[in-house]
Amino acid sequence: MGNVIGIQFSCDAILSHCLNCTLSKATCISQLEDNLVDLQAKLEKLIEAKNDVMMRVVIAERQQMRCLNQVQGWLSRVQSAETEAGQLIRDGSQEIEKLCLGGYCSKNCKSSYNFGKEVAQKVQLVETLMGEKDFAVVAQRAQESVADERPTEPIVVGLQSQLEQVWRCLVEEPAGIVGLYGMGGVGKTTLVTHINNKFLQVPNDFDCVIWVVVSKDLRLENIQEIIGGKIGLMNESWKSKSLQEKSLDIFKILREKKFVLLLDDLWQRVDLTKVGVPIPSPQSSASKVVFTTRSEEICGLMEAQKKFKVACLSDKDAWELFCHKVGEETLNNHPDIPELAQTVAKECGGMPLALITIGRAMSCKRTPQEWRHAIQVLRTTASDYESLPNDIVRSCLLYCSLYPEDYRISKENLIDCWIGESFLNERVKFEVQNQGYYILGILVHACLLEEVGEDEVKMHDVIRDMALWIACDSEKKGKKFLVCAGAGLTEDPGVRGWENVSRLSLMQNRIKNLSEIPKCPHLLTLFLNSNELKIITNDFFQFMPSLKVLSLSRNRRLTNLQLGISKLVSLQHLDLSLTNIEKLSGELKAVVNLKCLNLEYTWSLVTIPQQLIASFLRLHVLRMFGVGDDAFEVASEDSVLFDGGEFLVEELLGLNHLEVLSLTLRSPYALQSFLTSHKLQCCTQALFLQYFKDSTSLVVSSLANLKRLNVLRIADCEKLEELKIDYTGEIQHFGFRSLCKVEIARCQKLKDLTFLVFAPNLESIEVKSCLALEEIVSDVPEAMGNLNLFAKLQYLELLGLPNLKSIYWKPLSFPRLKEMTIITCNKLKKLPVDSNSAKECKIVIRGDREWWRQLQWEDEATQNVFLPCFKSLLEITEQRL
Q: Which helix (H) or strand (E) holds 598?
A: strand 596-598
Q: Helix %, strand %, coil % for the chain, to 5? A: 40, 15, 45
8 Å CB contact between 612 and 591: no
Cβ atoms within 10 Å of 638's Cβ, excluding its own: 13
Last residue of a domain, one of 379, 408, 429: 379
In a 13 Å sphere around the CA of 85, the CA atoms on its Cβ side amount to: 28
8 Å CB contact between 130 and 49: yes
Is residue 355 domain-shared with residue 456, that is, in the same domain? Answer: no
Q: Range of 364's domain?
A: 320-379
Residues 775 and 722: their CA atoms lie apart, in Å, by 12
Residues 65 and 234: their CA atoms lie apart, in Å, by 11
Cα 499–chain centre separation: 40
Total domains present in the chain: 4
Is residue 200 domain-shared with residue 338, that is, in the same domain? Answer: no
Cβ atoms within 10 Å of 102's Cβ, excluding its own: 7
* 3-state SS class at 262: strand
Q: In one letter, which amino acid is 126?
A: V
Is residue 357 domain-shared with residue 457, that is, in the same domain? Answer: no
Q: Is 67 among the domain residues?
A: yes
Is residue 298 domain-shared with residue 166, that is, in the same domain? Answer: yes
pLDDT at 784: 59
Strands 525-527 and 549-551, by their bridges, are parallel
Residues 55 and 61: their CA atoms lie apart, in Å, by 10
**Torsion-angle region of residue 623: left (phi > 0), alpha (psi -120 to 50) or beta?**
beta
Last residue of a domain, one of 351, 379, 407: 379
Q: Is 759 among the domain residues?
A: no
pLDDT at 528: 96
Is residue 31 domain-shared with residue 114, that is, in the same domain? Answer: yes
CATH, residue 206: 3.40.50.300
Q: Is 462 among the domain residues?
A: yes
Q: Is 546 among the domain residues?
A: no
pLDDT at 374: 74
pLDDT at 385: 66
8 Å CB contact between 277 and 261: yes
pTM above 0.85, yes or no: no
Largest CA distance in the chain: 133
List Cα–Cα distances, 330 to 251, 355, 848, in angstroms: 55, 16, 54
Residues 232 and 253: their CA atoms lie apart, in Å, by 9
pLDDT at 28: 62
Tens of pLDDT, residue by residue over 660-719, are 999 999 999 999 999 999 999 999 999 999 998 888 999 998 998 899 999 999 999 989
Q: Is 792 among the domain residues?
A: no
Is residue 198 domain-shared with residue 62, that is, in the same domain? Answer: no
- Which residues in the chain land under pLDDT 70? 1-32, 62-64, 92-112, 141-144, 216-217, 283-285, 376-387, 428-430, 461-462, 465-466, 469-470, 472-479, 563, 630-633, 727-734, 781-787, 874-881
Cβ atoms within 10 Å of 425's Cβ, excluding its own: 10
Is residue 324 domain-shared with residue 457, that is, in the same domain? Answer: no
Is residue 135 domain-shared with residue 60, that is, in the same domain? Answer: yes
Of the candidates 352, 81, 328, 353, the residue with the CA atom closest to the CA atom of residue 341: 328
* 3-state SS class at 742: strand
Tens of pLDDT, residue by residue over 384-398, are 465 678 889 989 999
Is residue 294 domain-shared with residue 195, that is, in the same domain? Answer: yes
Please enumerate in sequence order all residues whose Cβ is within 8 A of that of 694, keeping only pairs 6 or more positions apart, or say none: 668, 719
Q: Is 712 among the domain residues?
A: no
pLDDT at 100: 63
8 Å CB contact between 582 and 605: yes
Is residue 162 domain-shared with residue 302, that is, in the same domain? Answer: yes
Is residue 303 domain-shared with residue 330, that is, in the same domain? Answer: no
Last residue of a domain, one of 141, 166, 201: 141
Helix axes 109-131, 69-96, angle to 10 degrees: 150
In a 13 Å sphere around the CA of 137, the CA atoms on its Cβ side amount to: 8
Is residue 363 domain-shared with residue 295, that is, in the same domain? Answer: no
